[in-house]
Structures are given as structure tokens and as C-alpha cells.
Amino acid sequence: MVHADASNFAAGVSKSEAYTQIIEHAKALFDGQRNWICNTANAAALMWHALHALPPPSNRVNWAGFYVVNPAQKEQLILGPFQGKVACQTITFGRGVCGAAAASQQTQLVPNVEEFPGHIACDGESVSEIVVPIVHNGKVSGKAVILAWSSADIHAKVVAIIDLDCAVLNGFDAEDQRYLEELAQVIAEACDW
């Protein structure tokens, strides 16, 4: 398969089929490549193209990408590979939806960003958001992280977050969450962080 073909998603595909294809293609693209920049760049493109092949609200995603933990400042996220408009360059752990996901190591599923305390408005068109932490040596769920290390190392093990924004209310649901958490696990294991 030509690499660019991984970005092709058939019209009329279901959301679960699209996410299954994202995960399968991500695994294939990551095979033999452990660089997190390469892998998250391809994952951002896969998410963008897959979601835009779906009916509303999924096709109203207006940002899909990653923030990674700043190696110089462990309690800060820096902008990583993405698709969409230019974005905030740094986010402190605990600030906004992305910072909340990084600090808590829990997925943040936000139907209306205006109702999220401390929401950071990088793009005024974003109305809903989902953020999934990528935890190295652990597994993220909507409720908690299953740790494979001591709790003292908790912040050092969040390596990045997946961030998706949507231009309509309720742009994401439990199905998005389930598959994005699976993708986060694939990315956590496929990269040298």
C-alpha cells in the first residue's frame, strides 16, 4: 500500500469502521518507525481524513492533533503534529481541557466547551472537544489510569495528549472516547518517548 492511501476513507463508512481503519493503518504506518513525531503526524492525518469522511457531527471536526510533554518543563504541554488552524503553543498541566486531561490522566469528553471551567479558546469556532492522555507504560480509561509504575512517577509518564475539537455541540461521544483511548495506547507503545 502506498502510504498516502492510508488516508482514504470511503464515504458512508460507520464511525466504528473508520476508527478501526485508523487504528489498523496507524499500526501499519508505525511498523519499523518509533519516532513520536513521525507517528503522531501520521495519526493526526488519519484522524482528520477519517472524521471528515463521516456524517455530522464527526465531519465538523476542525482540529485534530497532539500536544506533547515539554522535555524542558514536565508540567507543560507543547504543540505537536496536527491538522487544522494554528493553535496554542503551550498549555500548563491543569489548565483548559488539554491540561486537565494531562494532569488527571483521564479522558475529558466535553459536549460544550463554554461550560468547561478554564477552557482555552485557541479557535473560537470550537464548540466541543475530546482530549485523551497518552500514558507511557499505562492504560488510560475514562475513569482512571491503570498504572504499571509507582504513583510517584505519575506526571512523568504522561507523554502526550490527543486533542480533537469540533465546530458543533456534542461533537464526540462514548464511541469516540473508546476508540481514541485505544489509539492512545497504540501510540504510547509504538513510540520512543
Q: What is the pLDDT of residues 119-154, one digit of tens each?
A: 888 888 999 999 999 998 765 555 444 444 444 444
In the block, residue with C-alpha cell 464515504: 11
Cell (9 digits) for 20: 478501526
Give the global pTM. Answer: 0.89
Domains for the chain: give ranges and CATH numbers.
3-190 (3.30.450.40)
What would the pLDDT profile of 41-72 be if each residue is shown by its tens digit? 999 999 999 999 999 999 999 999 999 999 99
Q: Give the rounded percent of residues in the chain with a pLDDT score beyond 70.
A: 89
Positive or negative, the CA dihedral 62, 97, 19, 135 is: positive
**Overall residue count recorded for the chain in this entry:** 193
